[in-house]
Copies of this chain bind each other. A is one copy, B any other.
Amino acid sequence: MKNNIKLDGTDRKILEILQRNSNITNAQLAKEIGLSPAPTLERVNKLETSGVIKSYHAVIDPAAVGLGVSTFVMASLKGHNKENISKFITAIKAVDEVVECHHITGSGDFILKIVCADIAAYQQLMLDKVSNIEVVDSLQSMVILSTFKDSKSLPIPG
């Protein structure tokens, strides 16, 4: 649903809270925004069906499940035409370890975020599943040494 929904201050409060913690009960949410549960729920439902809220997710600790290496990779393609881009995207979508893929301005064409177990697994992955893609020209990896901020909250404009 792509209604041009109008958000008021209460809606923005709801969005801020649910971005920070979506496991809050409706009753608690209602208290925090200063409404009773019924209209609170109605607003949340409207935000969901209108597409403002897209989805809800658990965030897991990568280290706790054996994922020790995260990287950003800048990828350039051999040609910048639609067909090559399409081939690249199709190939990338099939790789679970590639958790993000953005088309960007600047020297590279794409930036990827990749998560895997360790450096050995990373090397194997790049060789087998990324360098491999025929339309890929060059790749430049940046390994994440540590993450200082990873906010799940977008800054909703006033």
Contacts and interface: CB of A to CB of B under 8 A. Distances in A.
Interface of A: 5, 7, 12, 15, 18-23, 50-62, 64-67, 70, 72, 89, 92-93, 96-106, 108, 111, 115-117, 140-157
A59 B53 CA distance: 6
Contact of A148 (B7, B66, B92, B148): B92
A102 B146 contact: yes
Contacts of A99: 149-151, 153-155
Nearest to A44: B58
Nearest to A116: B155
Given A7-B65, A142-B111, A155-B97, A19 B58 contact: yes
